Amino acid sequence: MRRRILLMLVLASACAVWSTAIASGAGPSPGLSEGRHGLTSGTVRYVALPAGTTTELQVIGRQDNRVLRHMRIKGTWGIPLVAYDGTAEGLFANGRTLLLAQSLYNGQTLRSTTKFALVDTRKLKVSGRIQLKGAFTFDAISRDGRYLYLIEYMSPEDPSSYRVRAYDLRGARLLAKIVSDKHSWATDMRGLPISRLWKKSWSYTLYGANARPFIHALDTRNVAAVCINLPWKTSPDRVFDYRLRIDGDGHLVVRGPNGRALALIDRQTFKIISAVKKP
């Protein structure tokens, strides 16, 4: 518990802001879903439950909460959470494969080796495994199933420093390219993910903490990213209650806890159309 509290305090700094005042990056993973909430898809819900030295993956019917199918996998696994609002991801767009991840920590330290398991959702069997040297967490999967996006943690002494990487699932290799905003020379990032939203092949994530909040726009098809700094020098007190939405015109909207539109962003130009001065 003490380690988690300290980690939250460390990660409460905003995305790295350099002399160009451009924020860049996607933030640390909020962890794993290892319980009944799981991940919802259509009429079913996938849940990962600790079962001694194994993990039980269950497929539960949403209508009657009945366990339809289940399997066990050796070790402790969970369904990745991608934002502190509880959003879980890891299911491929075609619904045929579910990614399971392990905790970022191995005891009190970052993992030196990271493993992911790919589960065939129809046969409910492990169909593949990924093993990488270093500490990584899940960020996103491209809609075509080509790229797996990961957060790479650079230093065991500073878990708030990370960068975005892309893993080519077809070629089974980690790309050398660092996925960052091409308008910024900075590749290492900081921040906490608050809210996640998808629109076609783009993943949008709102980040915020004690400093300037920003939106990380990830082009999952083309392995590219853009960071949008929001026009507030510090994160508002209730920033963790903010949510990303799309309005009727296709613009990206940051909404406050009462549903009020706080910022409106053009998704084509990544420019802020309007924003309140004091959210």
Q: Would you state the pLDDT for residue 106?
A: 84
Comparing CA positions, the residue from 48, 66, 65 lying closest to residue 57 is 48
- 31-58: pLDDT as tens digits: 999 988 999 999 999 999 999 999 999 9
Dist. CA 255–CA 85, nearest whole Å? 13
**Encoded amino acid at 30, one letter:** P
Q: Which residues contact 169 (CB under 8 A, 6 or more apart)?
A: 145, 146, 147, 148
What secondary structure letter does DSSP report for 185?
A: S
- Predicted TM-score (pTM) of this structure: 0.87
Dist. CA 115–CA 143, nearest whole Å? 22
Radius of gyration in angstroms for the set of CA atoms belonging to the chain, rounded to a whole number:
18
Bridge partners (DSSP) of residue 143 are none
Cα angle 274, 206, 246 (rounded to 5 degrees) comes to 55
- 95-136: pLDDT as tens digits: 999 999 999 988 878 899 999 999 999 999 999 999 999 999
All structural domains of the chain, each given as residue ranges with its CATH number in brackets, are 2-275 (2.130.10)
Residue tagged 């392995």 (tokens): 223
SS3 220: coil
Per-residue confidence band for 189, with pLDDT thresholds at 50, 70 and 90:
low
CB atoms within 10 A of CB 271: 10
